[in-house]
Amino acid sequence: MVLDLPPVPALDAEAVLAAAAVRDRLPVGALGVWASVIDLLAGSRGPGDGPLLPHPRLTVFAADHAVSQAAISAAPASQSVARAVELATGVGLAAGLARHSGVGVNVVDVGLAVPDPAVPDRLAQARPAGRIDRSDALTEDELAAAVQAGRDQADAAVDSGADLLVGATCGVGVSTPVAAITAALTAMEPVEATSRGSGIDDNAWIRKAAIVRDALFRIRRAGADALTMLRVGGGPDLAALTGFIAQAAVRRTPVLVHDMPSTVAAVLAHRLAPGADTYLLVSSLAPERGHPRLLDLLGRQPLTDWSTTGHSGVGALLVLPSLLAAVGAFDAVDRAVTPPRSAEAISTWDATLL
């Protein structure tokens, strides 16, 4: 499969400088890590004096994974569709957090074994991921359809007015292909890349690590490019999420990544669309050992160290209220007044000076 993506546009440098000039009216370091968020939002919008407060939207890609039948998860395989239905009907933790921050939500069935009418947005080629330690996760056609579905969802979100996107998965067993691809990307050993996922005991972890080991062998034998990794060792949800992040960057729209699946997809999206990393924000450092390694590949630092995790974008949704508050405060700064500063004031903030 060959993916023909338009080039990722650069941030508007003048808009970033203009935002920095407004921040100079505040006490040095007043916005902390949120200053980088403001710069990204300004640079992605381009010139203009309008408010930067974003309109976020969450898109969740739902799919089943055959590995979930191997007794490697604390949740039964039937929970994939249950989670998707819960979110689509506005019930549960993620839906409640989204509602609290005014985040629009869309759930897309890209591979549930049993479709549910509560999730009407379903990919025509939807099929669960194959058992990645024994067979490919996807065929070439299924891969192409899933990536395109993700791109289409990014376009739809941006066209509807969203200017900060969150992409997520909700499938039981997704942490297993994520671990295999993480090991392939970072050269971590399978036992190091394999997490406890949803909270499994030692025996389940041993089974999971063996699947990750065998899947990693198959990935390495097939090839190291992003699309091959997704086809051999990924799944329809990860492929769609990768296309989603890549297309968001093409549309010059920031994406808030928040957990291992979204970070793996972000690394792959950057490989498919060089420069996509420019449009990434990382909500928090996830507790999995592979997360810092993946962030190193992206050259990104997390906004918080809250160790948030969980499916359906919960990590991003927990951080969003602080992000929105910081940007709202920035929008309220009086652009017409320059506060007086003494000759002893510094112009560049360095937290180590504290």
Question: Using one digit for the tens of pLDDT, what is the confidence trace for 270-294?
Answer: 999 999 999 999 999 999 999 999 9
Q: In DSSP terms, which residues pair with 164 in a beta bridge?
A: 56
Domain borders along the chain are: 54-324
Tell me the mean pLDDT in the region 317-332: 96
Q: In DSSP terms, which residues pair with 58 in a beta bridge?
A: 105, 166
Instruction: Kindly report, residue by residue over 2-61, the tens digit of the pLDDT.
Output: 788 999 999 999 999 999 989 888 887 889 999 999 999 999 998 876 889 999 999 999
Give the pLDDT score at 26.
85
Give the pLDDT score at 179.
98
Name the one residue in this structure whose structure tokens are 């067993």: 173
Give the pLDDT score at 348.
65
Give the pLDDT score at 352.
59
Alpha-carbon span 166 to 310, nearest angstrom = 14
Mean pLDDT rounded to a whole number for the chain: 94
Distances (CA, A) of 24 to 43, 54, 344: 17, 21, 15
pLDDT band at 347 (very low <50, low <70, confident <90, very high): low
Give the pLDDT score at 27.
81
Alpha-carbon span 159 to 142, nearest angstrom = 25
Distance between first and last Cα of the chain: 52
Give the pLDDT score at 149.
98
pLDDT band at 334 (very low <50, low <70, confident <90, very high): confident
Give the pLDDT score at 318.
96
Give the pLDDT score at 234.
98
In this prediction, what percent of the chain has a pLDDT beyond 90? 83
Give the pLDDT score at 48.
77
User: How many CB atoms within 10 Å of residue 354?
Assistant: 6
Tell me the mean pLDDT in the region 188-195: 96
List the one residue out of 155, 146, 79, 138 whose CA is nearest residue 108.
Answer: 146
CATH domain 54-324 topology: Rossmann fold (3.40.50)
Alpha-carbon span 135 to 249, nearest angstrom = 32
In this prediction, what percent of the chain has a pLDDT beyond 70? 97
Alpha-carbon span 57 to 337, nearest angstrom = 34
- State the burial class of residue 310 (Cβ atoms within 10 Å of its Cβ: 0-12, 13-18, 19+): middle
Give the pLDDT score at 349.
59
Look at residue 135 and tell me whether its pLDDT is greater than 60: yes
Give the pLDDT score at 221.
97
Alpha-carbon span 245 to 22, nearest angstrom = 29
Look at residue 194 and tell me whether its pLDDT is greater than 90: yes
pTM confidence score: 0.95
DSSP state of 311: S
Give the pLDDT score at 341.
72
Give the pLDDT score at 335.
75
Comparing 47-51, 214-218, 249-253, which segment has the lowest mean pLDDT?
47-51
Alpha-carbon span 204 to 117, nearest angstrom = 33
Comparing 6-10, 247-251, 306-310, 335-339, which segment has the lowest mean pLDDT?
335-339
Look at residue 236 and tell me whether its pLDDT is greater than 80: yes
Give the pLDDT score at 336.
64
Alpha-carbon span 326 to 330, nearest angstrom = 6
Give the pLDDT score at 310.
78
Look at residue 226 and tell me whether its pLDDT is greater than 70: yes
